[in-house]
Amino acid sequence: MFSLDPAVFTSRATISLGALEQNLTRVRAHLTGQKIMAVIKGDAYGHGLLPAARAFARAGADYLGVAQVAEALALVREWGEQPTEGEALAGHPALPPVFSWIYTPDSDLAPALEAGIELSVGDTWMIEAVARAAQATGHTARVHLSVDSGMTREGFNLEDIPAAAQLLATHQQAGRLEVVGIWSHLACADDPDSDATTSQIAVFDEARRLATRASLTPRLAHLSASSGVLWHPGARYDMVRPGIILYGLSPEPRRTLASDLGLRPAMRLESELLTTRQLSHRAGVSYGHTAVVEDGAVLGVVPLGYADGVPRALSNKGYVTVGEGPAAQRAPITGRVCMDQFVVRLDGPLPAGTPVVLFGDPARGEVSAAQWALASGTISYEIITRVAARVPRLYVK
Ligand SMILES: *Cc1c(COP(=O)(O)O)cnc(C)c1O
């Protein structure tokens, strides 16, 4: 991936490693002794795979969870590399066990087994592929049996668990693999009106019973992501798999705000005003003239656009924070968001170069990723993961 010179491209995503660590500690305090698998898929939700993973490991994460096996391999390969700037003072922890759940029939699993990566098995071909790779490499694979308890996405259906468990037990006896975990994923844990979680727990418990009957003894049962951690204490089992709360955002801000959970957003998207102007005439703004402003209006230009991850759906909807301290103002995005820039309406004249926070920490008076999500009809997850790779990440303690 190319990177832009931050001395020229001065917009950036500032990532607080301290916030990542504190959030994990905060989640730990909320639990009753369960292990924590810190989920770092999607380039650690846009925060940077390696620095975020190291921050969580420093804070005591028991496991790291990543969707793609290719990401897991990159993580293991680069773990020992030089810390990035800002990370340097923070210390270099040992790599916790890594769990990964996405690979395809054509994926070469040998490097993953050699690297000790633990794999999900949720289909018969997966069990066979892992067993084959184990035979070829001479490594015993550590696997987690994936159950479809009601998400209807991946994993064995309950009626297929006995045969799957039997097949796993056969390979386990032959030393090709060891079933260390059994897991599933909740579909509606953020919805207080849904009873799906209760039924998913029942299916999961039955799957665990069937696995035991096939003489498998997985020591780690795990079902809950962030919403389960927050709202379903009965779904915690031996380990939980939080993602979004570790980055300091609520999985469902309409239900609970991150600040009420004691969480601090780790990412702040920052830029500065490129130009400002006061109009001497009524004018249409940006493509399509979807906004029309009166003469005398003061406009500023922010040099980030949808190519950087600013949702075009925020056109005439979102806000950014312009200026700092008591003089900070909430400036509405005016007209359509372009590929590399957008226009905001200002209260009054400000110099070019005035700092702009697109989203950050509402406790500091900044617009939150949750507000952007609400305004653009999506979820906070998408706001933080869509910040483009070309936007430099700046790590601070
Ligand atoms: C993304 C994901 C998580 C974490 O979800 P959050 O809602 O961010 O906590 C946990 N488990 C699986 C399987 C996931 O895909």
146 sits in which H/E element? strand 141-146
Distance from chain centroid for Cα 275: 34
Name the one residue in this structure whose structure tokens are 């759940």: 101
From first to last of its 397 residues, what are the pLDDT tens digits of the chain?
Answer: 567 888 999 999 999 999 999 999 999 999 999 999 999 999 999 999 999 999 999 999 999 999 999 999 999 999 988 787 777 767 789 999 999 999 999 999 999 999 999 999 999 999 999 999 999 999 999 999 999 999 999 999 999 999 999 999 999 999 999 999 999 999 999 999 999 999 999 999 999 999 999 999 999 999 999 999 999 999 999 999 999 999 999 999 999 999 999 999 999 999 999 999 999 999 999 999 999 999 999 999 999 999 999 999 999 999 999 999 888 999 999 999 999 999 999 999 999 999 999 999 999 999 999 999 999 999 999 999 999 999 999 999 8
What's residue 165's pLDDT?
98
226 Cα–ligand 1 center, Å: 7
Residue 86: HSE in the Cβ half-sphere, 13 Å Cα cutoff: 15
Structure tokens at 347: 């209260």
Is residue 287 among the annotated active site residues?
A: yes
For ligand 1, say whether the CB of 185 is within 6 Å of any of its atoms: yes
**CA gap 283, 162 in Å, rounded:** 69
Q: 41 by DSSP, 3-state: which?
A: helix
Residues 152-182: tens digit of each pLDDT: 999 999 999 999 999 999 999 999 999 999 9
What's residue 128's pLDDT?
98
Residue 77: HSE in the Cβ half-sphere, 13 Å Cα cutoff: 8
Residues 216-238: tens digit of each pLDDT: 999 999 999 999 999 999 999 99
Among residues 35, 41, 306, 381, which one is catalytic?
41
Structure tokens at 253: 């801000």
Is residue 381 among the annotated active site residues?
A: no
Q: 283 by DSSP, 3-state: which?
A: strand
Structure tokens at 58: 């420093």
What's residue 86's pLDDT?
76
Q: Is 126 annotated as a binding residue?
A: no
Amino acid residing at 270? E
Structure tokens at 326: 């008591």
What's residue 198's pLDDT?
98
**CA gap 368, 376 in Å, rounded:** 13
Beta bridge partners of 391: none
What's residue 1's pLDDT?
57
For ligand 1, say whether the CB of 226 is within 6 Å of any of its atoms: yes
Name the one residue in this structure whose structure tokens are 């490594």: 139
188 Cα–ligand 1 center, Å: 12
351 Cα–ligand 1 center, Å: 43
Answer yes or no: are the C-beta atoms of 269 and 283 closer than 8 Å: no
Structure tokens at 372: 């952007």
For ligand 1, say whether the CB of 230 is within 6 Å of any of its atoms: no
Count CB-CB contacts under 10 A for residue 337: 26
Q: Which residues have C-beta within 8 Å of that of residue 104, sequence separation ≥ 6?
A: none
- β-pairing, 220-222 vs 177-183, is parallel
Q: Which of 20, 24, 27, 39 best tests ligand 1's pocket when mutated (most atoms within 8 Å of CB)? A: 39
**CA gap 97, 115 in Å, rounded:** 10
